[in-house]
Amino acid sequence: MGKMDDISRGTKCLGAWSHTRDQNGDKKHYNGAFPAGFLKWLKEMSWHYGKVCHLCSGTVEDPDSFRVDINPEVKPDLVSDAANTGLPDESFDVTIIDPPYSKELAKNLYDTEKHFKGIDGFTKEASRITKKGGLIVTLSYQVPKRIKNASFIAVWGIYTIPSVGYMRCFTVSRKGAE
Ligand SMILES: C[S@@+](CC[C@H](N)C(=O)[O-])C[C@H]1O[C@@H](n2cnc3c(N)ncnc32)[C@H](O)[C@@H]1O
DSSP code at position 42: H
Helices (H) and strands (E) in the chain, counts: 3, 10
**Selection from 111, 94, 3 nearest residue 50 by Cα:** 94
Q: Residue 22 has what pLDDT?
A: 65
Task: Give the domain extent around 47.
Answer: 4-175
85, 55 in Cβ contact below 8 A? yes
The pLDDT tens digits of the residues spanning 55-67 come to 999 999 999 999 9
Distance 65 CA to ligand 1 centre (A): 15
- d(CA 164, CA 10) in angstroms, rounded, equals 20
Of 34, 56, 61, which is best to mutate to test ligand 1, by the most ligand atoms within 8 angstroms of its C-beta? 56
DSSP secondary structure string, 46-86? T-S-SSEEEET-TT---TT-EEEES-GGG--SEES-TTS--
Sign of the Cα pseudo-torsion (44, 96, 107, 105, in order): negative
Confidence band, pLDDT 50/70/90 cuts, at residue 132: very high
Mean pLDDT for the stretch of residues 79-106: 97
Distance 167 CA to ligand 1 centre (A): 18
Q: Residue 80 has what pLDDT?
A: 98
Q: Residue 38 has what pLDDT?
A: 96
Sign of the Cα pseudo-torsion (124, 129, 130, 132, in order): positive
Confidence band, pLDDT 50/70/90 cuts, at residue 111: very high
Residues with CB under 6 A from ligand 1: 18, 30, 32-34, 56-60, 69-71, 74, 81-83, 98-100, 106, 110, 112, 115
Which ligand 1 atom minimizes the distance to the CA of 117?
A: 19
Of 69, 96, 166, which is best to mutate to test ligand 1, by the most ligand atoms within 8 angstroms of its C-beta? 69
Q: Residue 177 has what pLDDT?
A: 62
Average pLDDT value over all residues in the chain: 92
Which ligand 1 atom minimizes the distance to the CA of 121?
A: 19
CATH number at residue 55: 3.40.50.150
The pLDDT tens digits of the residues spanning 26-78 come to 767 788 889 999 999 999 999 999 999 999 999 999 999 999 999 999 999 99
The count of domains in the chain is: 1
Mean pLDDT for the stretch of residues 114-123: 96
pTM of the model: 0.94
3-class state of residue 26 by DSSP: coil
